[in-house]
Structure 1
Amino acid sequence: MGFGPLSIDMYLPAFPAIGQSLHASAGEVERTLATFFAGLALGQLLSGPVSDRFGRTKPLYAGLTLYMLGSIGCALAPSAGVLAAWRFVQALGGSVGMVSSRAIVRDLHSGAAAARMMSRLVLVMGLAPIVAPLLGGWVLRTSGWRTIFWSHAVIGVIALAAVVLILPETAPPRSGPSQPFRSMARIVRAPDFLGHALAVGLAQAGMFAYIGGSPFVFITLHGVAPEHFGWFFGANAAGLVLMSQLNHRLLARSSPEQVLKWAVRVAAFAGLALVGVVVTGLGGLWGIALSLFVFVSSLGAISPNATALAMEHHAKQAGIASAVLGALQFLLAAGASAAVSASHDGTARPMALGVAITALLALGALGLARRSTPPEAGTPAVEAPTPTS
């Protein structure tokens, strides 16, 4: 599940070094991130139907192998254009793990149990932004930017070994849908899926608006030293991790719907507070940091609950549902990041508005999430059955 954030955040500190080494402009280097987003979105749409048809583990073998090849290609890239192409390949491979992890949880769990397991996945996704920039900065200082991608290849080897040796097959091969894209369209039209998928996707889009705009806001506008920026970034990720674990406890007393409703409200409040701080100047740097901390922390409850609820009634096509959910998240994230970049005006307003607008839209999206579809026949019990091996 961590391949996306790990592959993004670990190489962000190397942008200037990559541009200097490959004689590329800042825009050319930034395009390597855009192609990675595109690869993650497309890769998830392609791997979802394959995962439903051939099981979870076999696509993981192919996906992790492709990720390793893409990482090696990035490490050897002679130009920014070639690097962008290999980043696309790398993302195609890494996307399989992101689809499969959500689908495996749905194979084994439903309801609150699925939301609790999703909280553990969010823990991994939250740890990656803490560790990855610091690890990437250390590798950059000691060995250069190309070693970052060699380390991605090594991580791919470790993950592949873990899948081969540890991970059982949770969805035996079965006859998949003959028209997977029609199945995707049918899933998207389901109100319960669409509302929850938009809620988590828009919340994640706010997260990427923050990621795209925060280096300028913290370092350029408020004079935070580049080597200290990682501590602000890591503190927010730590808040996300803590909230994901608190969510695990809250689900013992409240339903996923109730926790999700309050978490989205907190995110919207934090977004509006951020706009207020930026417009008025009250609180300065620490007002911005606190508002962002509350917003990012709320994702620790939004992501697992909205994801579990979106996939609740789609156990028979968990791979396709996971693919659509993931692709939607990264398409919205790419749009939010691009909007913040395009509206850059030398202030913190674009980032603040990006966070606030997406959070308010996520709150509105919950209105679409009517739990009107009856559970599928044969939906797994709340506790996990013994998986087939």
Structure 2
Amino acid sequence: MAGEKILIADDEPHVRKLLERYLSHHGYVVGLAADGLEALELVRQQTPDLVITDVNMPNMNGLELTRRLRTSHKTALIPILMLSAQKQETDVLAGYAQGADEYVGKPVELSILKAKIEILLRRAGQATAATGEARPGRVILFIHGKGGVGATTLAVNCAVAASSQSPERVGVLDLNLAFGNSDILLDVRDARPLAELARIQGEIDEATFDSFVSAHATGMRLVVANREPEAAELVSLGAVRLAIERLRRRCDYVFVDLPANFSEHTLIAVDNSTLACVLTTPRLASMKAARECMEILDKIGYQRQRVVLIANQVADQAERENLKTFFRQPPDALVDRWQQFEFAADAGTPLVLKFPGSEAATQVTTLARTLCEAADEISAESAAAS
């Protein structure tokens, strides 16, 4: 499509000039870099629609450039096409291993290059269009700066409570890369974790993605990032973005359980979220961590009206007052300390199903309804403004 931006990184001036002339003639806006470092700087200035990179370059080669693009939440999905005179299978696989989408040998056959560019851009455009075909699902994050606040338990129980009307329209995404346990709380472990996406080459169609989705007895859907700590590094940024996009297409509400960090994986979820629930307990260390999370969200430009401060495991009025004093305002929502949460977790059944009608279940159901309504309102406002 005319006007799409392509960045070419190649240390050979005649190759850069040849490709620039050819692609410009076909309507593309072309940027040029002589090595990977220069290419990264140009990407920071303006994100291209596609990157073409040589493998062997000084300062930073194409493999390292590709790796860096794939490990930033802002550039993880840019299509990357590699050029190289190296045509051995091991070299091609090295490019794919770093995240390249296509590989073209040198000397370059321009007609083949053009065809592959069109395929990659079309594929990227289809993915973007698919998320906008209908009103996308609302993504509700559960963020915490310190473990032990009950984020996973609340995320799972709120999702189950929200699914009481249309269970198949609610999803849970567990992005704890090393020690997630949403599947244990829901007692479902029949689907593949996102870490195994690294084994699949080519486009992930809906049928393939289904193998990564577990269906709970209620009909609610669950996707987990990983089950084995040693495989955490296999969960790519692209896998996280893909999971969010596919679940948003299928579900009205996606509840995302995040780890206690602001890694690139977490930032992808933040970038694609509707509402961010910051969790704390009345303990000082937990409150300090929650405040720091809110400050980070402020720094990255996340709108404060989209942040919900939830105090969990609150035992009495004294703790309520301590929370109010520390944050200089009452938390947006409170969840009392209920022993039923532990009983339900040990049974592999969410509290709202194990103890329906209990005060604890009623409190969680009210919280879930409040979060969904807030997410709906934010989504409607965003749609009206666009």
Please, what TM-score do these two structures have when normalized by structure 2?
A: 0.26
Higher relative contact order (CA 8 A, sep 6+): 1
Task: Judging by fraction of residues, say which structure has more strand.
Answer: 2
- Rg larger for: 2
Please, what TM-score do these two structures have when normalized by structure 1?
A: 0.26
Task: Judging by fraction of residues, say which structure has more helix.
Answer: 1
